[in-house]
Structure 1
């Protein structure tokens, strides 16, 4: 039954040889890997306006120069990450660049920040998508958490079905959003120049008496939240078709051009229309309403905006499992993240991302607006380390044209470092937890790596000197009585060795006497050893006996505890029986370096 449901949800298993068919072309990759960056158009301008509104309506004109500054930073990042793509075509982005050029700890800082960021991406995106829906349908506001969780489950299942299939399904809404926003920008601009705009825009260049550099920097850093997701293409180069690096670089340029045009367009419309952010309605919703009225086109724009905000999480579903794979390959995360699932995706990473982001949604009751600054800091830390790593690389290698490349990465590093510091200074009350959480993630990586190193040291052999020891075998069979399963187990044991003993732990002298008499009458050719337990414990006498056998025969024999166990026909029937065999096996696995085997006997009724 479970297998049928699994096949229904994620499809039939795919052969390993089909992995090349799962690679992405530029158009599908643009939809899958750019959804996070493109979706930020829906809230990037709004974040700027929220900060400026503290100074009043007249200060909203500052959104235009701030948006232009954000656009300049986007250009720098696109050029910088394009260089990263060609320098590190194996993917991994900031983690690989920082580890290769700045050292392991810097790489882990970048990797840990990105992993946390991808979890926040899913939580913030699903929450923002829900906000877009509740702006159009306020009666759904009380169901925000449920709507967000449903979308997370949907995206998780889609990605478990494979990269190509999820790209085919999810590409259409992304391109619908791009078309809808450009239609909104074009129509809104025409309305403005035709004089059809009812609201008056704040005077451009008006003097604001209480303006401060601190507040402008805070607004700029808020607008930089629109740049989250730009790094995703450089992280996921292995997902592209050959030539992977050229396709990835072209996709990055397309994404930067589309994102820049949409962001500045929405910022201009918000200024021209005199839009003020409110808790109940998004900026994009207000612009669409002012441009088209509350008709069909308005609801189409709101619908595709909600979709893209949900699908922004899909960028994380593409990048998180790949980054987790690389960290696991370097032994900083559990090896389970290296395993490909039935549909050739890194299923454990996909499932883990879905679970952790769903927990965030529940913990914050679907209101994740306060996570946006933390989410942005989580991006700009690896941005900065990546740029610094590329600077070190150019200085060390000095390839052709390295001075220009160094200049681009230097400008990128100084800019992203400044943004990171601005975020920390202006929004410390919202991002302070990164200084606690990130060291915990680093310690998590360190403990995992140390465990894998210790395990390798203990398991490693010298193939020149270490050879298998040829020993005899002693088999110990714990029994609870004389049954068919015991007979079956003894038959198996005697086919391997003559050195077999059966052990019975008895609580009652009368029961012990009856079993000994019955055993003598049966005479299976195996010695019976009876252990008396005055405190009705099976494990204590049995462990003492095994200790004795181990001490006497460890030099000459391998010791095997052969546990008889009958398997009921129906799962619920297990509840009706004492699971002593499971207890024996669990305790011995934990305590003893001996062989523990189970001999199953299946019941038919």
Structure 2
């Protein structure tokens, strides 16, 4: 005779909510997989999403360039136009090179995929590690720079620099977790306001200069205490200024990593977005560098080196703030518009990393170099696990370095130029291989005509990527030499460690895959079927577990009670007989008060006596609605389940029992069923009594053929 359950109970209601209310309030309702195409981006929305890093870097790249040159004194500012020109030329070459990469590898792997397919596994993981490190630093540098600009406008906020930075990272995480489409809406306006306002400032500043009324920066009156340098030190200083100016190139690779996020035609839209991003970045970088020199901006690495500046009580304004104040006037509406737009776009520049990091992480997870969880889309169809990991890492860096931009910038761009260099070398090999394959085509007319077109594009790509490889390798050497002793050595430690970890993850997944692969020689040979229901006290969850076990019609079914107290065991036996439970109760003594070990011993002896039976262990488990309730329930059952899963031939079946608080998760019915209240409980005394009677067995058990378990 089966033990029956109530006809209508709260635990068999269908859940009406798929996620907690607080999560839905913050992130929005979950999206179905069919909505994925709706999340793809057109060019006008992809630009602020993928280009915000490259565009925002023009706010601090000219500042860093001039700051390094000022170490040698104001006379070194004469080298600034030439250094800026070299940065612009490099940016043009890199943009052209990545147009070729997007065309050849549009799957979203970017430099990682190029290096892995053309240079081998080790080069691929080094590129991936470098990009991941650079994405973390992108978030840290962008947020720190944004906070710097906010403090330049409101110096009173300086004591809360770290708290502001951490708060902004958390805000960006939440916005990105809501989905790519909503993030594009949130980030589009500040990015376009920044582009427009800075462009207007450059035009106005250059027009004033042409009319004989150039803007004057607030720091132009301060002399600079320069260092005495040897000829070698002068060259190194100029090279260091060039490497700091090259921070304007960060973010260029994000478009190649994000091709899958574009609308069709994906390659064409990604290439157009890349060209627009590069063109705007070049114009803004060149214009701000020119205005910085015209207005006489003196931005020192150590503000105390500015003669006449009170570094003890004043905060050094950023280059952008000084140019805006000199062009439009301190405290004017355009000044605050530019400062607000600059701060916003610098903060939002971190968003480039929040798109590139998860996409790259998903590719690495797909290839087995990262945990599989990074390839799982969240409720809003974004790779939420990657976003959360990136946010936590960036917050850690900001806290460790006190959100200090000058310190963080020394760690920056090393990773991106490692990936630039290996990616361009990989593209050179790709085009050379393509030319060899074209040369091997059969010599018929049709194939010759198509081969000529393909050969022309291959030669074009080979030339562009060869120049790109030569320039990026040179810059990598310069950046390494000039920044290594200023903190960049940490990056050269982090990249190999991360690469080794990724190779280790790949080896682990490979070994597990080999271990679980189906073959024709492995046989498990199960010969029997027995169910064990673990019983502590006779309660409704136990009755439900018995009901489930009997419904499964196992060959043998036993209730197991581990006796740690003689009084409890005697009380359970009396209840068992009183309620005529149709399952044999087996009591196992446990003098050492352990639970899993006696059960495991019982299972082992049973299988020795009756063959290699499949043993199904039924464990009742409470389902609760409050997080703190999970600390008060299920601790023992979870430990027992974890230990029994290590026993051969055992499978665990968790039988849920929904407590009333679980309605916080599953919700309430909008309309009660007949005979129910709104909570789903029987609404009349007669039905309530019937429900209680239904939990008891209808009569004594029918005689069954049972095997006696090993005691």
TM tier relative to shorter chain: over 0.9
Structure 1 residue 511: deviation in Å?
4.7
1:583 is matched with which residue: 610, 632, 639?
Answer: 639
* 1:569–1:359 Cα change, 3 Å: closer
2:342 equivalent in structure 1:
305
Q: Which residue of 1 aligns with 2:154?
A: 137
2:324 aligned to 264, 284, 288, which one? 288
TM-aligned CA distance change 1:225 to 1:572, over 3 Å: closer
The corresponding residue for 1:477 is: 533
The separation in 2 between residues aligned to 1:41 and 1:117, in whole angstroms, is: 17
Comparing 73-82 and 349-358, the one that deviates more = 349-358
Q: Paired residues, what number?
A: 598
| Partner of residue 188, structure 2 | 171
* Cα distance, 1:520–1:210 mapped onto 2, change above 3 Å: same
In structure 2, the residue matched to 1:451 is: 508
Measure how far apart 1:50 and its partner are.
Answer: 1.7
**Structure with a larger share of its residues in helix:** 1
Matched, 1:400 2:436: no
Uncovered stretches (5+) of structure 2, i.e. residues with no partner: 1-16, 223-227, 304-315, 436-453, 662-711
Deviation at 1:153, TM superposition (A): 2.2
Q: 2:30, 2:250 → 1: CA distance?
A: 34
Query: Structure 2 matches for 1:318-333, cutoff 5 A?
Result: 318-333=355-370
* Segments ≥4 residues shifted beyond 6 Å: 199-202, 464-468, 568-571
Encode CA deviations 1:459-509: one digit per residue, 9 max, x unaligned. 2213x6778856321122222233444343334323322412222222344
**Structure 1 position 88 matched with structure 2 position 105:** yes
Change (3 A) 1:370 1:466: same
Which range moves more in the overlay, 466-475 or 291-300? 466-475
- Offset of residue 403 of structure 1: 3.4
In our comparison, the structure showing a higher alpha carbon Rg is 2
1:445, distance to aligned residue in structure 2 (A): 1.1
CA contact (8 A) 1:233 1:252 kept: yes
**Greater displacement, 384-393 / 50-59:** 50-59
Q: More deviation in 447-456 or 74-83?
A: 447-456
SS at match of 1:369: helix
Deviation at 1:63, TM superposition (A): 1.0
TM-superposed deviation, 1:404 = 3.7
Unaligned runs of 5+ in 1: 203-207
2:14 maps to none
- Correspondence for 1:247: 269
Give yes or no for contact 1:201–1:273 (8 Å, CA) kept in 2: no
The CA deviation string for residues 53-98 of structure 1, in whole angstroms up to 9 with x for no partner, is: 1111111111110000001101110111111111112222101111
Deviation of 1:277 (Å): 0.6
- Say which of 46, 50, 62 aligns to 1:45: 62
Moved more, 245-254 or 14-23: 14-23
What secondary structure, in the 3-state scheme, does the structure 2 residue paired with 1:561 have?
strand
TM-score for the superposition, normalised by structure 1: 0.92
SS of the residue corresponding to residue 400 of structure 1 reads helix
DSSP 3-state at the match of 1:537: coil
**C-alpha distance in structure 2 between counterparts of 1:424 and 1:328, whole Å:** 30
Distance of aligned partners of 1:175 and 1:494 in 2 relative to their CA distance in 1, 3 Å threshold = closer
Q: In the alignment, does 2:247 pair up with 1:225? A: yes
Residues 124 and 369, structure 1, Cα contact 8 Å, conserved in 2: no
Secondary structure at the aligned position of 1:312 is classed as: helix
Give the CA RMSD over aligned residues. 2.6
Return the TM-score normalized by structure 2: 0.79
Query: Matched residues in 2 for 1:19 and 1:517: separation?
Result: 59
**How many Å separate the matches in 1 of 2:426 and 2:106?**
15
Paired with 2:514 and 2:285, the residues of 1 have a C-alpha distance of 54
Give the direction of change, closer, same or farther, for the CA distance of 1:576–1:361 in structure 2 (3 Å limit).
closer
Q: Tell me which residue corresponds to 1:128.
A: 145
Question: How far off its partner does 1:193 sit?
Answer: 2.7
- Kindly provide the CA deviation profile for residues 3-60 of structure 1, in whole angstroms up to 9, marking residues without a partner as x: 2222222222223222222222222212211110011111111111121111111111
